[in-house]
Amino acid sequence: MPTDDAAEHHLPDVALEAFSGPLDLLLHLIRVNELSITDIPISRITEQYAAYLDAMRELDLDVASEYVALAAELIYIKSRMLLPRAPGAPEEDPRHDLVLRLQEYERFKKTAEDFHEIDTLRAGLWPRPETPVPPSPDGETLEVSLFDLIEAFRLVTDRYRFAHPPALEIRHLRFSVSEKIRELVARLEEGGTLPLLEFLGTMRYRAEAVTAFLAALELVRLGLVRLFQPAAFGEIHVTRTDAPFSEEQVRETYRD
């Protein structure tokens, strides 16, 4: 049984890309340490696993997020094993779920190895090459598979896109901030305060509401209005301040 130190010195022996995923790496660590899946010394394995991720980063390999996620899970399990159980809490091994996943994954990994053997053996059997059978003279029967259809559809859409490049689309700028500033000020001069969210809600277009909102912010910046909210998450009210409003102020900031 290797000591922790010896095991750590073994790290660089392994081609990192050779792992097909974080569970594969974890299984490998369990195997080289001659450990039992059902009784993993989490602390030791977590250290080694983290050391692998560090080595991967040093070699400038992208450490896929899934590897990091499993590292986090290991640390979480480790912390749960260190913590005393709450009195009366059911006795449950924090490693239980991980063990089940590892066992399931290992079974499929073994099957994949069997598949590989069968595939290698059978690659040596040569079938008759696919030769197109001459088409029937009436040309009526056509046998296609789903794959042929997908391929045909892809070709058609590619050709269509090539022949019909998307037209240049010009959209009018329909709303302007200065126009909305004027509108807001006019409304405020009429009636004192204005519920802003309700006002925005009357807009027909998203762009219009955004423009009006920007207008309100701009008015605050210019010191022409004040926003206040009587309750958290409630309606926002707009009122005029005493500062005089002039067209120049708007024209200075926004030229349409």
Partner 1 sequence: MESDQPLPGVDGPEKRRETRLEVLRPAIEALLFSSARPVSEKDLAEALDADGDAVALTLSELRKEADLRERGIQLEHVAGGWRYVTRPEFDSLLRKFHEVTERARLSLAALETLAIIAYRQPITLPEIQEIRGVNSASVLKTLFEKRLVTTAGRKPVVGTPFFYRTTSDFLVRFGLKELGELPRPEELAEDLAATVGEAPVEVPSELEAAAAREDEGGG
Q: Which residues bind partner 1 (CB under 8 A)?
A: 18, 20-23, 64, 66, 70, 101, 104-105, 107-116, 118-119, 121-131, 133, 143-148
**What is the residue type of 210?**
V
Q: Whose Cβ is closer to partner 1: residue 100's or residue 217's?
A: 100
What residues does 238 pair with on adjacent strands? 194, 227
Q: Whose Cβ is closer to partner 1: residue 23's or residue 188's?
A: 23
Q: Whose Cβ is closer to partner 1: residue 39's or residue 148's?
A: 148
Please name the residue that has the structure tokens 């709303």: 175
Residue 87 backbone dihedrals phi, psi, to 5 degrees: -60, 135
Q: Whose Cβ is closer to partner 1: residue 25's or residue 184's?
A: 25
What string of DSSP letters covers 31-100?
HHTT--GGG--HHHHHHHHHHHHHHHHHTT----HHHHHHHHHHHHHHHHHHSPPPTT-----TTHHHHH
- Surface-to-core class of residue 83, CB atoms within 10 Å of its CB (0-12 exposed, 13-18 middle, 19+ buried): exposed
CA separation for the pair 211, 216 (Å, rounded): 9
Give the shortest CB-105-to-partner 1 separation in angstroms: 6
Taking a C-beta distance cutoff of 8 angstroms, is the pair 241, 184 a contact? no
Give the shortest CB-64-to-partner 1 separation in angstroms: 7
Taking a C-beta distance cutoff of 8 angstroms, is the pair 219, 211 a contact? no
CA separation for the pair 165, 160 (Å, rounded): 8
Q: Whose Cβ is closer to partner 1: residue 111's or residue 239's?
A: 111
Give the shortest CB-140-to-partner 1 separation in angstroms: 15
Q: Whose Cβ is closer to partner 1: residue 123's or residue 167's?
A: 123
Give the shortest CB-157-to-partner 1 separation in angstroms: 18
